[in-house]
Structure 1
């Protein structure tokens, strides 16, 4: 009896490692074997059913992206300015070394400039997704550090810049380009930038992770924002990575598919979305009186 129990325990141990071709010398009861086999089959069936019910979303981490870069032809960095929780994005072509910065912040210009220099890159554009109200853009200061760098913003934002974009314009750096898509609603001049080759979209404040930008000031229009997002961003492939200008919960990236399914505001009807936005009652932005005049002048504070 002791020998049979030992053999049975050994059988259970091996089955835990999915070893199915156990020699018959272990002398396990055929009835017990059959029951364990059926139990295992039921577990596998349940697992497959759960996987079929769950949507498959693309996920990425900083380590994963770094590994991808080592095997590819581009550089991507997501950088945080922690006071306004603003993300700045560095994109570069490894062959030409041409690079752009999206939504740089004046307080972190030195950090960004050092990274560009350390990586041996040539900064060609400082790009803004819109005229920000919660921080001063770093594009003006970057132009001082990199004389060949040009500032870029939507023409509808009525802000000073070297290049003023309209719908469908391209921002080229090396072998790559971003497509400018006008996504007004948070402000008149909001632009989202699509990197089709790498399956990424930089949405500014139009779409945040499980949220969106406010619409109660600075030419905000909830209905217009809803239409912009659904027509210009949610129309992209579901697997595209979505990178916002801000996040206040510690998240770094989403996908178009995730936001189409889980965004608590933008999954509602247009009428319900407008009502939600009207009832937010958000506080007055702390830096707006200082940031707006400066950002209309490419981040150079008027004297």
Structure 2
């Protein structure tokens, strides 16, 4: 399997790329609107076909990149039938399977953070993507979007912590730089849901968190209920049209040499090498300005 964990620093959201190297097919879990260009670049560089984007739930802290990626790659949009969202190609239910080449992800309904939360479990139960239901040494909140602490407790205890102890758990967020945990770790060390913590204790704790609502909730939730499709009048990310540029996973726009030569008279070319390289035997592009990086 091909696996990548990607990060959006603005919302502290993890996006996951899961691919079948043999079949060349991949899915993205919880893509972010502002990172769709980055994700698309990675898919192209790995030579993969994006077959679907999967949401663990309707997010309140960022807008999904599902619609943008569908527009670019023709990928299906899939999320829980209980999410209330429109515009999805597939409405998922507990027990459904989402193909990833010759492998698959099993859908497990894990409501609590929202009514439409799901966890995706790899077919051999070695990996699960828990969304905002179970975080690393924590849990998602339950005080908006049909949140229910009793439902969350039962979801975690019956659908996630019953997986094999060695199963790796990847959440949708972490705010401390942590990246992965396991069923064994969370069963033992999660201060909210592990050990002998009872349902009543968990419910009492969650009902008294007193957290402010996410800053983008009034923008993100309506957009995500449309699967990320912009509202009428909303501007899409601008794409350069003056030359056949390619955006790379490294975050750099690349231009083919022939296109650069064609547009050389209308652009400023900057050479960032050292002066000895600029004047050296390898030569330089005619008209380039030397501005060394160091």
Shorter-chain TM-score tier: 0.7 to 0.9
Post-superposition offset of 1:279: 1.1
* 1:151 pairs with 2:77: yes
Post-superposition offset of 1:284: 1.3
Post-superposition offset of 1:198: 6.2
CA RMSD of aligned residues (A): 0.8
Of residues 30, 37, 57 in structure 2, which corresponds to 1:130?
57
Are 2:125 and 2:164, in contact at CA under 8 Å, matched by a contact in 1? Answer: no
Partner of residue 229, structure 2: 300
* 1:185 pairs with 2:112: yes
**What is the TM-score normalised by the length of structure 1?**
0.75
Of residues 194, 197, 213 in structure 2, which corresponds to 1:284?
213
More strand by share: 2
CA distance in 2, matches of 1:198, 1:111: 29
**What is the TM-score normalised by the length of structure 2?**
0.77
Post-superposition offset of 1:261: 0.5
Partner of residue 12, structure 2: 85
Post-superposition offset of 1:300: 1.2
Q: Secondary structure at the match of 1:87?
A: strand
Deviations 1:44-79 (A, max 9, x none): xxxxxxxxxxxxxxxxxxxxxxxxxxxxxx100000
Post-superposition offset of 1:302: 1.8
Query: Which structure has the larger Rg?
Result: 1
Partner of residue 174, structure 2: 247
Post-superposition offset of 1:197: 2.5
Post-superposition offset of 1:174: 1.0
Deviations 1:64-121 (A, max 9, x none): xxxxxxxxxx100000001100000000001110000000000100000000000000
Post-superposition offset of 1:173: 1.7
Matches for 1:92-171 after TM superposition, within 5 Å: 92-147=19-74, 149-160=75-86, 161-171=88-98
CA distance in 2, matches of 1:284, 1:190: 18
Post-superposition offset of 1:301: 2.5
Partner of residue 71, structure 1: none
Partner of residue 12, structure 1: none
* 1:272 pairs with 2:198: no
Are 1:293 and 1:301, in contact at CA under 8 Å, matched by a contact in 2? Answer: no
CA distance in 1, matches of 2:94, 2:213: 30
Deviations 1:168-220 (A, max 9, x none): 00000211000000000100000000003360000000000000110000000
CA distance in 1, matches of 2:23, 2:53: 17
Matches for 1:20-39 after TM superposition, within 5 Å: none
Q: Secondary structure at the match of 1:197?
A: coil
CA distance in 2, matches of 1:198, 1:140: 29
CA distance in 1, matches of 2:118, 2:140: 13
CA distance in 1, matches of 2:54, 2:202: 29
Deviations 1:28-59 (A, max 9, x none): xxxxxxxxxxxxxxxxxxxxxxxxxxxxxxxx
Any gaps of 5 or more consecutive residues in structure 1? 1-73
Matches for 1:34-73 after TM superposition, within 5 Å: none
CA distance in 2, matches of 1:242, 1:109: 24
CA distance in 2, matches of 1:173, 1:298: 21
Q: Secondary structure at the match of 2:124?
A: helix
Ranges of 4+ aligned residues in structure 1 off by more than 6 Å: none
Q: Matched residue pairs, number?
A: 229
Q: Secondary structure at the match of 1:157?
A: coil
Any gaps of 5 or more consecutive residues in structure 2? 233-294
